[in-house]
Structure 1
Amino acid sequence: MIEAKNLTKRYGDKIAVQDLSFTVKPGVVTGFLGANGAGKSTTMRLLLGLDRADEGASSIDGRRYQDLERPLSTVGALLEARAVHTGRSAYSHLLCLAQTQGIGKKRVEEVLSTVGLQDVAKKRAGGFSLGMGQRLGLAAALLGDPAVLILDEPVNGLDPEGILWIRNLMKQLAAEGRTVFVSSHLMNEMAVTAEHLIVIGRGRLMADCSTQEFIDRARKDAVLVQSPDADALAQAIARAGGVVTPNGTQELIVADLDAARIGEIAAQEGLVLHGVTTQRGSLEEAFMELTRESVEYSADTGKGTNSKVTGGSK
């Protein structure tokens, strides 16, 4: 389990993380979301003792990272996969790490096989592609067979097959009872991988809830209505309390009424329906809506404001 309690980190006059508290529990994949500059990388560095918090504290399985006797056997981390000696082979890189923790050669061979690098184990890491570098970083994170994994953008550089592989791997590790804490900018991937989300903006906690709850809180479902009588149907739906947005000459987007009620209204009015489709809110839409005002660097889209779920820098 990972615990953060009132973490605050400043860099000069900039507050990167502010009074941030959360718990990452074992048994589920927990996604860590935030826009660029939200404080995700800083938070992960604080958890791993790479930066010192100005206020607050964090622990992994009840102890500070720096107090762990064999850290690789407790927590595996992937923060910067390319941070390897480019002249070393993948095998040598992992063996050096293993020897500092009393881990045998057999385990090095096992993790190379797990991540699919056994055929290039003796090649220099400096010649690896981005995706191969990610796999090597994951192998290092798995080396000590840890109960806790902290992964920053683990699918970066992977092809579709590799993304599916890491998705299934993270789910498998969580199903084994491990704590899996993963950040990503790929919202569609997080939607199918993470069961729980922690969302921050400008270093502050914005949401700590299940993925589905996050989507449901942020955006209501809408209904796409297709009808040659769109104008008349729009008026009837509005009278019944629906919020109607025209979407072309024969389509309507309706909020605040479900598909069944819209069908009843059309039947009562004698109007033709060609289609009624419920459109579910997406994680990407929910994230954009809830973090809109906490984005540090953004283009002017002319769109509206943000509403928080609970209570935001890199």
Structure 2
Amino acid sequence: MIEVRDLVKRYGDTTAVDHLSFAVEPGRITGFLGPNGAGKSTTMRLILGLDRPSSGSALIDGLPYRDLRDPLRYVGALLEARAVHGGRSAFNHLLYLAQTQGVPKRRVSEVLELVGLSGVAKKRTKGFSLGMGQRLGIAAALLGDPKILILDEPVNGLDPEGVLWVRQLLKALAGEGRTIFVSSHLMNEMAVTADHLIVIGRGKLQADMPVGQFIAQFSDTAVLVRTPEAEALRAAAGERGWTVADTDLDGALIVTGSTAPEIGELAAARGLVLHELTPQRASLEEAYMELTRETGEFAHRPAPAWGGADGRA
């Protein structure tokens, strides 16, 4: 279990992490989301003891990372996949890590096979593609067979097959009762991978809840409606304070701020004919954008004026 308690990290006058508290439970995949500059990478570095907090604490099963015995066997981490000596082979890179923690040599071959790099195990890593580098970083995180995984953008650079492989791997590890903490900017992938979400913005906690609850709480309900009496329905919905918008779907309407049963009951009360009444499921991306609209790195910043002083290109 990972516990972050009132964590603060300042760099001069800049507060990167601002009184942040949350817990990452075992047995599920916890997604860590936030705009660029939100403090995600800094938080992960604080958990792993790579930075010192200004105040507060980050604990792993009640202990700071530095106090863990055999930390590679306890916590596997991927923060920067390209942080590898380019002159070493993939095998020797992992062997070096294994020897520092008493991990048997056979485990190196096992994880290389697991991530699909056995065929290039003896090649120098400086020639690796971005996707191969990501796979090697994941192999390093898995080397000690840890009970906790902390992964920063693990699918970056992977092809669709690789993305699916990572998803299935994380689900399998969580199913074994391990603690999985993973950050990503890919909302569609988080929607099908994560069980729980922690969202931060400008160093502050914005949300800490299951994925389904997050989508429901931070997105408007919407219903697709088809009716030959569109204007009458529009007027009736307006009286209830609902929003009605046209679509490109052969005259269909989108009604927000209501539910399908409420719209059906209103239509019945007014004697309006309905041909279709279909709830529209909001996406994680829509909910995330709604929540973080005001906390992004570039929120409220004016667009640059391209060209010369007269504004011409």
TM above 0.5, one fold?
A: yes
Name the structure 2 match of 1:258.
259
- 8 Å contact from structure 1 (residues 87, 125) kept in 2: yes
Q: In structure 1, what is the Cα distance between the partners aligned to 2:210 and 2:115?
A: 29
- 8 Å contact from structure 1 (residues 194, 211) kept in 2: yes
How many pairs were matched up? 302
Tell me which of the two structures has the higher relative contact order, counting C-alpha pairs closer than 8 angstroms and 6 or more residues apart: 1
Q: Aligned-pair RMSD on alpha carbons?
A: 1.9
Name the structure 2 match of 1:247.
247
- 8 Å contact from structure 2 (residues 152, 184) kept in 1: yes
- Residue type at the aligned position of 1:297: F
Residue 238 (structure 1) shift: 3.1
- 8 Å contact from structure 1 (residues 229, 250) kept in 2: no
Matched, 1:25 2:25: yes
| 1:175-254 to 2 correspondences below 5 Å | 175-239=175-239, 242-247=242-247, 250-254=251-255
- Residue type at the aligned position of 2:246: P
- Residue type at the aligned position of 2:124: R
Q: In structure 2, what is the Cα distance between the partners aligned to 1:65 and 1:267?
A: 62
| 1:32-73 C-alpha deviation (Å, 9 max, x unpaired) | 000000000000000001111110111112211111221100
Q: In structure 2, what is the Cα distance between the partners aligned to 1:158 and 1:98?
A: 25
Matched, 1:293 2:294: yes
Name the structure 1 match of 2:282.
281
Name the structure 2 match of 1:34.
34
- 8 Å contact from structure 1 (residues 241, 257) kept in 2: no
Residue 202 (structure 1) shift: 0.3
| 1:256-286 C-alpha deviation (Å, 9 max, x unpaired) | 3322443454455554444322111211111
Name the structure 2 match of 1:154.
154
Residue 296 (structure 1) shift: 1.7
- Residue type at the aligned position of 1:93: H
Q: In structure 2, what is the Cα distance between the partners aligned to 1:114 and 1:171?
A: 15
| 1:129-168 to 2 correspondences below 5 Å | 129-168=129-168
2:156 partner SS: coil
2:17 partner SS: strand
Residue 213 (structure 1) shift: 1.0
Residue 298 (structure 1) shift: 4.2
- 8 Å contact from structure 2 (residues 221, 258) kept in 1: no
Q: In structure 1, what is the Cα distance between the partners aligned to 2:148 and 2:208?
A: 19
For structure 2, which runs of at least 5 residues remain unmatched after alignment? 304-313
Q: TM-score, normalised by structure 1?
A: 0.91
Q: TM-score, normalised by structure 2?
A: 0.91
2:162 partner SS: helix
1:294 partner SS: coil
Residue 78 (structure 1) shift: 0.2
- 8 Å contact from structure 1 (residues 234, 244) kept in 2: yes
Residue 232 (structure 1) shift: 1.9
